[in-house]
Amino acid sequence: MFQGLKIAVKRQKKLLAIFFVTIFLPSVILSIFGIIALRNEKFRVEKQIENEQLQIANSIKDRIETKFTEIGERLENLASYPAFRQKDYTVIKELITGLFEKDSLASIIFLLYNNEEPVFSLFRTGSEENAGRPEPVYDSFLQQQIKDAEDAEYIRNDYLTAASIYNDAFRQSGNKIIKARMLNLTARNLMKAGKFNEAADVYSRIINDYPDERTEAGLPLDLYAKIQMTECYSMPGDKGSAVGNDLTVFEELLVNRWNLNESRFKTYASIVIERLTGLLSDSALESTEYLSRFEELEKRYHYRTEQWETIGNIRSYIVPELPGYFQTGSRSPSPFEFSKRVGSEDYLVLAAMIPGQSQLDNAGILAAKLDNLYLQNNILTNAVEEIKPLRNTAIYITTLSGDSIKGSKNNNPDAVTTTSLFDNNFPPWRLELTYTGPKGLGEISIFSNFYFWTIITLIIILVFGAALIARIVAREMEILKIKSDFVSSVSHEFKTPLTSMKSLTERLEEGKVTEPGKMKQYISIIANDIDRLIHLVSNILSFSKIEEGKKIYKKEKTDIVIWLKEVINNYKKENIESGIIINVQLDNNMPALHIDRDAMAQAIFNLLDNAAKFSRGKKEAEVTAERKNYSIIIKVKDKGIGIENDEKDKIFEKFYRGESALKYLIKGTGLGLALVKYTVEAHNGHIDVDSESGWSTVFTITLPVSDKK
């Protein structure tokens, strides 16, 4: 087998070389170039995606940074007003309120002067409620009046008298503060006397006429009056007005009407909250509307307390680090950004320098702490939404400490991902953009790629080429085998009769055979052997003529019955020793046909020979001929070993020898049936086989009657 392959390959050396040089080598080289080009293409697409991602990241960052710049510029503008240098808090408050009250991003504004406590704009921090306002002088007459009133109130519990003394003092005084305070004391005594309506009237006067006056301790009188009003309503049983009044006070506390410091704010708020909780639990009250307003205010209160907490944190963690920015002696860049992690939150601060007297000095800084929730939920969300379409891009944003802010992590390790940070890490966020195309990136670039299809085509050509070469080599091997098989089988075919003839002639020559009967038998055997040899040689010669296209058929009008009988008799005569019994059944009404008698006789001879060869034990054959429509049908049947189904087509191929022929060492050349087929077809007929393996075989020759050639 291996030897055969070697020889076959050697024979097709030239073809293989051509295949290698013209197909294999160029294909491999082109494929390598193609793969390189594909990789470059993938790299290019990746770069392109990365660029797109960078652009997206940049526009998100730009949108957010623009907001910061805008706030920074507003702070810078504001800080340049002289009021800031002069620490004129009234003007400062107005300016800040005007510019930042409605700003949800810059949630807490604060001022920081060198070596001073920070000042938080929307909340007063110190206890200087009366700062800048002189205490009024209480003259001796007024002092006497107050003493008399206190005697009446505290010693005699004569509240109405006390109220009327205070009321007198109110009327007689020309000082606004004193007037307001006297009204307050009048109302207090009226309440103690149970005159709630009158007290309410007096408190209303304070609220309407003296809204800016304060007690000696600095407590705003109108706040006090408003808180007392609730009592004036609730004592006589008007719970609805009481609740309404308290809700208004609560709201005013929340809008910081009185500039209270943290502890005062919390004290008054808790008074109002406690009282409202009590009043609203009264089932007699139609309270649904009140309740929802109360809940809403409580939410704002909660937010406000959080802001106080934030302010505490700014004071403790941010403020100590800021002076570095304006104590440098020369002007620091303004505005500037500052961020620091406090607890689990990143505190983001934008600040502007407050210019000092000289151009080089800084008086302090004006800063805004940004509201992180607003920044994330509004500014960032809008920024992301505005840059649609994102084209297969997933956005995942985290803080530098790893807390997720927006989106979710894409875990595909193959996806093209770009990471981007903000300038100066402000805000300290990381943007991660990932490609989430419908297909993998590789597939996209491959399938739309020219090189990919070139490589595929080359591979197909290569496979086809290789298959063709393999077929050629296999065929070459087959031919080699057929040739060698043929040579060996022909040699055997010759050898047997020749050996027999040699020994018989030797015996005759030696004169050992003297008996005439025996002698005749010997000569007859020799004659048969010679016939066999002639038959063999004529088979081979006919075959080679047919192969070369040189075979000429001499067709003569022939009576089939006579001709067939003669052929069968001849066969019998020549093959007596094979012991075959041949039954003949011929239809006498058959028309004469034009046939090449010798060629057709050879065909019948071959079929009978096979019937004898492929029968074991009892050798019996039957030859029938009949007319059927426009055909003459000649059948040669035997009861031999039969033919397997899968061999039925192959047996007519030249040189083909059946499995069983080889197995039972039945001699032959594989030319017999091929020759029969050629001959029958040369007479415009056809041959078929029908066989039951192990039992019988029937060959049917069909010849057309109308054929006159």
The reply to whether 641 sits near ligand ADP by the rule CB under 6 A is yes
Q: Which CB atom, from 497 or from 658, has the smaller least distance to ligand ADP?
A: 658
- Euclidean distance between CA atoms 630 and 627, whole angstroms: 7
Piece of the chain touching ligand ADP by CB under 6 A; list 83-91, 211-219, 594-602, 656-664 = 656-664
Which residue, 80 or 578, has its beta carbon nearer to ligand ADP?
A: 578
CA 596, CA 707: separation in Å to the nearest integer? Answer: 13
Q: Which of 72, 355, 668, 685 binds ligand ADP (CB under 6 A)?
A: 668
Question: Which is closer to ligand ADP, CB of 582 or CB of 651?
Answer: 651
Stretch that binds ligand ADP, among 10-18, 200-208, 541-549, 634-642 (CB under 6 A): 634-642
Query: What are 298's two structure tokens?
Result: 């409580």
Query: Contact with ligand ADP (CB under 6 A): which of 542, 670, 678, 687?
Result: 670
Does residue 589 contact residue 628 with C-beta atoms inside 8 Å?
Answer: no
Instruction: Measure the CA–CA gap between 381 and 407, rounded to whole angstroms.
Output: 11
- Which residue among 169, 658, 685, 701 contacts ligand ADP (CB under 6 A)? 658
Q: How many residues does the chain have?
A: 709
In the bound complex, what is the minimum distance in angstroms from residue 608's beta carbon to ligand ADP?
Answer: 9
- DSSP assignment of 351-413 equals EEEEE-SSTT-EEEEEEEEE-HHHIIIIIIHHHHHHT----SEEEEEEETT--EEES-----T
Choose between 319 and 689: whose C-beta lies nearer to ligand ADP: 689
496 binds ligand ADP (CB under 6 A): no
The nearest distance, CB 611 to ligand ADP, in angstroms, is: 5
- Sole binder of ligand ADP in the list 206, 368, 469, 651 (CB under 6 A): 651
Mode of pairing for the β-strands spanning 429-435 and 393-399: antiparallel
User: Rounded distance, CA 684 to CA 676, Å?
Assistant: 13
Residue number with CB closer to ligand ADP (373 or 534): 534
Compare residues 276 and 641 and give the one whose CB is closer to ligand ADP: 641
Among residues 159, 196, 396, 614, which is the contact residue for ligand ADP, using CB under 6 A? 614
Q: Which is nearer to ligand ADP, 24 or 655 (CB)?
A: 655
The piece of 204-212, 214-222, 530-538, 638-646 that touches ligand ADP (CB under 6 A) is 638-646
Q: Per rule CB under 6 A, is residue 80 in the interface with ligand ADP?
A: no
Select the residue interacting with ligand ADP from 179, 535, 657, 683 (CB under 6 A): 657
Site for ligand ADP in 94-153 (CB under 6 A): none
**Position 546 contacts ligand ADP (CB under 6 A):** no
- Span of 52-60, 62-70, 323-331, 661-669 interacting with ligand ADP by CB under 6 A: 661-669
Extract the tokens encoding 232: 């004036």
Contact status: 673 vs ligand ADP (CB under 6 A): yes
Q: Is 610 in the site for ligand ADP (CB under 6 A)?
A: yes
Query: Taking contact as CB under 6 A, which single stretch among the options 207-215, 231-239, 306-314, 668-676 is the one that binds ligand ADP?
Result: 668-676
The least CB distance from residue 465 to ligand ADP, in Å, is: 35
Taking only Cα atoms into account, the Rg of the chain, rounded to an integer number of angstroms, comes to 61
Distance between CA atoms of residues 151 and 25, nearest Å: 123
Label residue 694 left, alpha or beta by phi (over 0 means left) and psi (-120 to 50 means alpha).
left
Residue nearer to ligand ADP on the CB measure, 287 or 542: 542
Instruction: Check binding of 601 to ligand ADP (CB under 6 A).
Output: no
Strand partners, 619: none
Nearer to ligand ADP, 220 or 672 (CB): 672
- Which H or E run contains 265? helix 262-280
345 in Cβ contact with 107 (< 8 Å) = no
Between 164 and 496, CB nearer to ligand ADP: 496
Where does 327-433 have alpha helices with state H?
372-374, 381-386
**Contact call for residue 638 and ligand ADP (CB under 6 A):** yes
**Smallest separation, CB 553 to ligand ADP (Å):** 20
Residue reference for tokens 């006159």: 708
Cα torsion 189, 191, 192, 194: sign:
positive
Q: Confirm or reject binding of residue 620 to ligand ADP (CB under 6 A).
A: no
Cα(524)–Cα(526) distance, rounded to whole angstroms? Answer: 5
Nearest CA-CA partner of 350 in 331, 334, 374, 328: 334
- Within 10 A of 357 (CB to CB), how many other CB atoms are there? 8
Please identify, using beta-carbon distances, which residue of 112 and 490 lies nearer to ligand ADP.
490
How many residues make contact with ligand ADP (CB under 6 A)?
Answer: 23
DSSP-derived 3-state class of residue 123: coil
Contact with ligand ADP (CB under 6 A): which of 640, 685, 702, 703?
640
Q: Which helix (H) or strand (E) holds 367?
A: strand 362-370
Question: Rounded distance, CA 251 to CA 123, Å?
Answer: 15
Residue 643 within binding range of ligand ADP, rule CB under 6 A: yes
Which DSSP string do the residues of 256-321 spell out, in sequence order?
TTT---HHHHHHHHHHHHHHHHHHHT-TTS--HHHHHHHHHHHHHHHHHHHHHHHHHHIIIIIGGG
**Contact call for residue 542 and ligand ADP (CB under 6 A):** no
**Backbone conformation region of residue 684, classed left if phi is above 0, alpha if psi is from -120 to 50, else beta:** left
Residue 625 tokens, joined: 């001929």
The footprint of ligand ADP (CB under 6 A) covers 606, 610-611, 614, 638, 640-643, 651, 656-658, 660-661, 668-674, 697
